[in-house]
Structure 1
Amino acid sequence: MTDFTAKKVLVLGGSRGIGAAIVRRFAGDGADVAFTYAGSQDAATALAADVGARAIRSDAADRQAVIDVVAGEGALDVLVVNAGTLVLGDPLTLDADAVDRMIDINVRAPYHAAVEAARQMNDGGRIIVIGSVNGDRMPFEGGAAYALTKSALQGMARGLARDFGARGITVNIIQPGPTNTDMNPADGPMSATMHGFMAIKRHATGEEIAGLAAYLAGPEAGIVTGAMHTIDGGFGA
């Protein structure tokens, strides 16, 4: 376990799934953790009470709301952007507003959150965004818009890593493959198909993703930046 005592951590999208596992990991390692949620108030309240974190209601599709939450936390040591949404389907019939909302949440929110965090972030801080292996590989139909959002994060991380590097602030993307969450349960209807693409034929756990986040936020990863860290059981191999 990494010691994050006296470190200030904000997780955007932390009430469920991967986000909740990340909140638990940092809180368990001693950090002062705040996290945002949108619709899962009961889950957020229970998690906050369980680990001693602070829950903040905020809509990741609202640019100003994202900026305000990050600015309100002051000088962070670690920002983790986990908020995300998934829209799949035939691009000829997908609702354009749903696609634009996904772009707002999956691309615009991480960019504006990272920039706002860097304004006050302590030197040597960490910015970590949860992307997807689908930024590298989209092996089935209907995922073009989603893959677009996850590929966009790669360029963002490379650019911001250079912009913030002089202050020792690192910017990294974690790219999970199939992970056991409400959005993509291990026993869901697509599991067999997804496992067919994988070398290790199982979903990841939230705790495994959180462990990688903790490494990237820790002292041993101080020179790791502008990089994509795929954790996918060989889905993209």
Structure 2
Amino acid sequence: MADEFFSQAQAEMRAAELRLTARRYGGIAIGVALVALIGVGGWQWQVHARHQAQARASGQYFTAMEALQAEQPDAALRARTEKESIATLTALAADAPGATRSFAALRLAQLLAGKGDVAGARKAWQGVIDNPDADPTLHSLAQALSLNSHVDDKDPAGLRAGYEQLSGRGGPWRAFAQEGLAMLDLRSDATAAQHEEARKILIQLSQSPDAPDGMRQRVSILLQTFDGAG
């Protein structure tokens, strides 16, 4: 489940990053055109400054990502590059304009989670969740990743509410949210009624065209544990 989830998350992030790249260069052209055609003025300069800030932030983001993805000759250089990239992403996640803020926070969370800093990753995800200007897809991705990081919590009430909210929102993470709900209903302390609810969810996922192939295979195996499941 984790590999498939992160694979889809990476694909969604990459597609969104490509859109950001287009806006990055387009934003520079728009800002220059506004200054040239409309002339100098308070409003015009604010627009120009905003586009310049967005271009600068996205440039810093992509530079950090390229450094992280580049081959490093030794462990010391790799560690220094990671430290510098984390510092850049942390700054961008705090106050970068536009979508760059959410991208930086999500990539920062990925790095921190990989280093075992779950608390730091959760803080970065929460930054996207709390950002009213975040792209809806990135907002849902951050919520899904945050929810999954709490899957072993002893009290599943808040986790269930989060999965239900994400499931009701639709989009590319709906199937994962439904699978999360099914897993909660299959916990060792779940009731017979919850087991039956899990069975219903799993049947829906096994037949859903929106569920990834790997997920449908997983739920089909789980369904075999229920008497009478098809």
TM-score, normalised to structure 1's length?
Answer: 0.28
Structure with the bigger RCO (C-alpha within 8 Å, sep 6+) is 1
Give the number of the structure whose residues are more often strand, by fraction.
1
